[in-house]
């Protein structure tokens, strides 16, 4: 992956409130493998993994690979609302979403 793609991978993970270990577990890879993806020293081997990443972090493949955002109007409104949430509340929201 390019340095820009690695940065977007990290941004997607952080925006979804995942640690590297949590992301690795959810993607069924080792934490070291996931870390290498964010560092750009290794790449996911299959396109299906890119799809899993996009689904897990609720991002589009277009954005993760090319940097082209493609948010719906509703997504933009939700993102605006989330930006003002304090970290403690973000953790509670994350637990709630995962429980769904």
Cβ atoms 39, 6 nearer than 8 A: yes
Structural domain count of the chain: 2
Per-residue model confidence (pLDDT) at position 74: 72
Per-residue model confidence (pLDDT) at position 97: 76
- For residue 17, what are the domain limits? 1-68
Task: Report the candidate in 60, 53, 62 with the shortest Cα–Cα distance to residue 18.
Answer: 53
20 pLDDT tier (thresholds 50, 70, 90) = very high
**Is there a single domain that holds both residue 63 and residue 74?**
no
Instruction: Give 3-state DSSP helix, strand, coil % of the chain, rounded to 5.
Output: 70, 0, 30
**Residue 13's domain is classified under what CATH number?**
1.10.260.40
**Is there a single domain that holds both residue 24 and residue 63?**
yes
**Is there a single domain that holds both residue 24 and residue 52?**
yes
**Is there a single domain that holds both residue 61 and residue 80?**
no
Query: What Rg value do the Cα atoms of the chain yield, rounded?
Result: 14
**25-84 confidence digits (pLDDT tens):** 999 999 999 999 999 999 998 889 999 998 999 888 877 777 766 566 676 677 677 777
**Is there a single domain that holds both residue 43 and residue 14?**
yes
**Is there a single domain that holds both residue 21 and residue 50?**
yes
Per-residue model confidence (pLDDT) at position 71: 61
Q: Report the distance separating Cα 99 and Cα 12, nearest Å.
A: 20
C-alpha count within 13 angstroms, C-beta hemisphere, residue 30? 4
**Is there a single domain that holds both residue 17 and residue 63?**
yes
């Amino acid at each position: 992956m390019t340095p820009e793609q690695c940065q977007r991978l990290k941004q997607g993970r952080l925006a979804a409130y995942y640690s590297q270990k949590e992301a690795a577990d959810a993607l069924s890879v080792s934490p070291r493998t996931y870390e290498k993806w964010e560092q750009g020293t290794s790449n996911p081997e299959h396109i299906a993994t890119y799809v899993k990443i996009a689904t897990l972090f609720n991002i589009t493949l277009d954005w993760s690979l090319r940097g082209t955002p493609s948010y719906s109007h509703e997504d933009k409104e939700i993102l605006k609302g989330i930006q003002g949430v304090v970290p403690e509340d973000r953790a509670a929201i994350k637990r709630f979403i995962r429980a769904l």
